[in-house]
Amino acid sequence: MGIERKSCRPTKLTKLAGPLFCAALALAVVGHPARAQTDDYPSRTITFVVPFPPGGGTDILTRMLASELQDKFKRTVVVENRPGGGTQIAANAVAKSPPDGYMLLLAPTTLATGPSVFKSMPYETRDFAPIGLVGSAQFALVANPAIAASTLPELIALIKSRNGEMSYATAGNSTPYHLFMELFLNMIGAKAQHVPYRGSVAALTDVVSGQVPFMIADLPVSLPLVRGGKLKAFGVTSRERFSAAADIPTIAEAGVPGYAASGWFAVVARAGTPRPIVERINAVLTAYLARPDVRDTLRARGIEPLTSTPEDLERFIASETVKWAQVIKDAGIEKQ
């Protein structure tokens, strides 16, 4: 404030130019630090928040992206794991951070499903500034090998013949595993009993043992079991075949035209983050994810590399929010 008072002391110039001159000068003085902050970004440590525990595929993806940002920006990028709350703990930390680009979030699909899954959240989707898509996790519809179906049309016929009595396993209520299966059932016009587990590994274990006949599971985890004859794979959930398992068709190809569901990951910051900073981060990530060695590394871990502009990501999140809200409504899934 002292600068503003000094800049508008009466002088011959201010007397001639009037109050408009003082206002313009004040804006210029106030605006200069903001421009300097943007031009100097980053000038200190960046925190990259991941909503899952260390060691998993998303944690590895985050650390790869963080390492590249650190290399290009010549500033420390710290990865901070904040699991829990259905990813709300991590998301809320970023939603409440200053809008300066120094705290980033690896946002999963729950950024779009959250408003329909939870009764209340400490933040809204509009509290984030989209930066760009970075990848998608791969899933597949798998079943115990003893199931009386060899193709997807045969499995669909079997599910329908059981009149809602057949059961499927998931990693928990309202998880992507659950929502992806409900989308599938809705599109084939059938019902099945949901058997939620505490985690995907427990669910998959019971499908392998025959306790529950089928589920939608993580492809990287289920693929070795498929190759070993302990599971049958009827199709991947993504819009296109996954290069690391190109012999497995998409569900859309195998018998449910139009079906597509993927667990995606995006990088976002706090809403209000200056556009030049958003573009600077997007440029680094886009170039990195285009590298063949990076793409091969991620695909080996079951992640398909993706990129987008901030505008494309904003539209994508909006469309995903509408899509899964309808699936949740049609399935009668109660909010948590």
State pLDDT tens for residues 95-140: 999 999 999 999 999 999 999 999 899 999 999 999 999 999 999 9
Confidence of residue 35 (pLDDT cuts 50, 70, 90): low
Residues 139-254: name the CATH superfamily. Answer: Periplasmic binding protein-like II (3.40.190.10)
Instruction: Tell me which range, 17-26, 48-57, 162-171, is most confidently predicted by mean pLDDT.
Output: 162-171
Residue 178 reports pLDDT greater than 70: yes
Residue 156 and residue 189: Cα distance in Å, rounded? 9
Q: At what angle do helices 152-161 and 176-188 cross, to 10 degrees?
A: 80
Q: Are 175 and 108 contacting, i.e. CB atoms less than 8 angstroms apart?
A: no
Residue 15 reports pLDDT greater than 70: no
268 Cβ contact partners less than 8 Å away, ≥ 6 residues apart: 94, 104, 105, 107, 111, 128, 129, 130, 131, 313
> Does domain 46-137+262-331 match CATH 3.40.640.10?
no
Confidence of residue 16 (pLDDT cuts 50, 70, 90): very low
Residue 171 and residue 198: Cα distance in Å, rounded? 6
Q: Are 192 and 167 contacting, i.e. CB atoms less than 8 angstroms apart?
A: yes
Task: Note the helical H segments in the chain.
Answer: 2-7, 12-17, 19-39, 57-73, 88-95, 110-117, 152-161, 176-188, 200-209, 219-227, 251-254, 275-289, 292-300, 310-331
Burial class (CB in 10 A: 0-12, 13-18, 19+), 257: exposed
pLDDT value at residue 37: 63
Q: What is the pLDDT of residues 45-82, one digit of tens each?
A: 999 999 988 888 889 999 999 999 999 999 999 999 99
Q: What is the pLDDT of residues 251-309, one digit of tens each?
A: 999 999 999 998 999 999 999 999 999 999 999 999 999 999 999 999 988 899 999 99
Q: Output 154 or 11, whichever has higher pLDDT.
A: 154
Residue 311 and residue 326: Cα distance in Å, rounded? 23
Q: Which is nearest to 267 in space by CA: 98, 65, 100, 120?
A: 65
The span from the first CA to the last CA of the chain, in angstroms, equals: 48
Report how far apart, in Å, the C-alpha atoms of 283 and of each of 35, 66, 302 are. Answer: 20, 14, 24
Residue 305 and residue 323: Cα distance in Å, rounded? 22
Q: Which is nearest to 187 in space by CA: 160, 151, 213, 163?
A: 160
Q: Are 218 and 302 contacting, i.e. CB atoms less than 8 angstroms apart?
A: yes
70 Cβ contact partners less than 8 Å away, ≥ 6 residues apart: 46, 76, 77
pLDDT value at residue 244: 85
Q: Where are the domains of the chain?
A: 46-137+262-331, 139-254
317 Cβ contact partners less than 8 Å away, ≥ 6 residues apart: 111, 112, 125, 130, 266
- Facing residues of 139 across strands? 218
Look at residue 184 and give its three-state secondary structure: helix
Two structure tokens written together for 27: 């804006």
pTM of the shown model? 0.82
- One fold for both 46-137+262-331 and 139-254? yes
User: DSSP assignment of 271-327, as one string?
Assistant: TT--HHHHHHHHHHHHHHHTSHHHHHHHHHTTEEE----HHHHHHHHHHHHHHHHHH
Q: Are 331 and 168 contacting, i.e. CB atoms less than 8 angstroms apart?
A: no
pLDDT value at residue 69: 98
pLDDT value at residue 199: 86
Residue 224 reports pLDDT greater than 90: yes
pLDDT value at residue 39: 82
Q: Are 256 and 187 contacting, i.e. CB atoms less than 8 angstroms apart?
A: yes
pLDDT value at residue 335: 81
Confidence of residue 239 (pLDDT cuts 50, 70, 90): very high
pLDDT value at residue 300: 87
Backbone angles phi, psi at 68, to 5 degrees: -70, -40
